[in-house]
């Protein structure tokens, strides 16, 4: 063998050794980075699972709060509905008693400065009356007064229901 051939053989052997070394280094780097990427992917999956679990727990908590609020509002609504129904029943009884003359409304009469009456004496209520002189109201006027107070009672009950609703929602 000639020295050129020996040199070429050594160079080829050196090139082959360098190529094998580079290929094996490449493979080792691939395994290392592949392992790191797999580890990062697993950590990412774990983070996503934790976030998902926390979001689901928060959603359950919010839903439980909403259901509890709905139940409290339902009880409050039933209470106010009963109050309104009772007030309407009482007003209906009062209107019936006024219509059948079982009950007569009267008003306290004011007296003028001379001690006289401002309404003729013939309109006085009969029976035991405590306080000043009273006059009976016409049944039609009494019915209108009762209707006005009925609307007022319904308005106050509705207002109380709205206030309770707002108070419950703002908790």
**Each residue of 31-58: pLDDT tens digit?**
899 889 999 999 999 999 999 999 999 9
- What would the mean pLDDT of 83-96 be, rounded to a whole number? 87
DSSP-assigned letters across all residues of 29-56: HHHHHHHHHHHHHHHHHHHHHHHHHHHH
Helices (H), 100-124: none
Q: Are 160 and 80 in contact (CB under 8 A)?
A: yes
| Residue 73, both tokens | 């509002």
Q: Are 168 and 69 in contact (CB under 8 A)?
A: yes
Q: Are 98 and 139 in contact (CB under 8 A)?
A: yes
pTM: 0.52
Q: Is the pLDDT of residue 125 over 50?
A: no
pLDDT at 128: 52
Give the separation between CA 62 and CA 50, rounded to whole angstroms. 18
Tokens 């790191």 belong to residue: 36
pLDDT at 142: 81
Helices (H), the chain: 3-99, 139-169
Q: Are 105 and 95 in contact (CB under 8 A)?
A: no
Give the separation between CA 142 and CA 106, rounded to whole angstroms. 9
Q: Is the pLDDT of residue 77 over 70?
A: yes
pLDDT at 94: 83
With b meaning 16 or more CB within 10 Å and e meaning fewer, what string describes 14-42? eeeeeeeeeeeeeeeeeeeeeeeeeeeee
**Mean of per-residue pLDDT scores for the chain:** 84
More confident: 63 or 133? 63
More confident: 41 or 113? 41
């Amino acid at each position: 063998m000639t020295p050129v051939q020996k040199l070429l053989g050594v160079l080829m052997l050196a090139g082959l050794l360098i190529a094998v070394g580079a290929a094996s280094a490449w493979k080792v780097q691939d395994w290392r980075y592949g392992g790191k990427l797999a580890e990062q992917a697993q950590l990412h999956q774990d983070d996503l699972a934790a976030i998902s679990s926390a979001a689901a727990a928060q959603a359950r908590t919010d839903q439980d709060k909403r259901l509890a609020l709905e139940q409290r509002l339902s009880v409050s609504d039933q209470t106010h509905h009963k109050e309104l129904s009772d007030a309407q029943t009482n007003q209906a009884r009062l209107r019936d008693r006024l219509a059948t003359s079982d009950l007569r409304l009267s008003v306290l009469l004011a007296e003028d400065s001379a001690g006289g009456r401002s309404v003729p004496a013939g309109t006085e209520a009969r029976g035991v009356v405590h306080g000043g002189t009273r006059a009976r109201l016409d049944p039609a006027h009494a019915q209108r007064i009762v209707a006005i107070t009925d609307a007022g009672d319904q308005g106050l009950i509705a207002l109380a229901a709205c206030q309770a609703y707002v108070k419950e929602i703002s908790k």
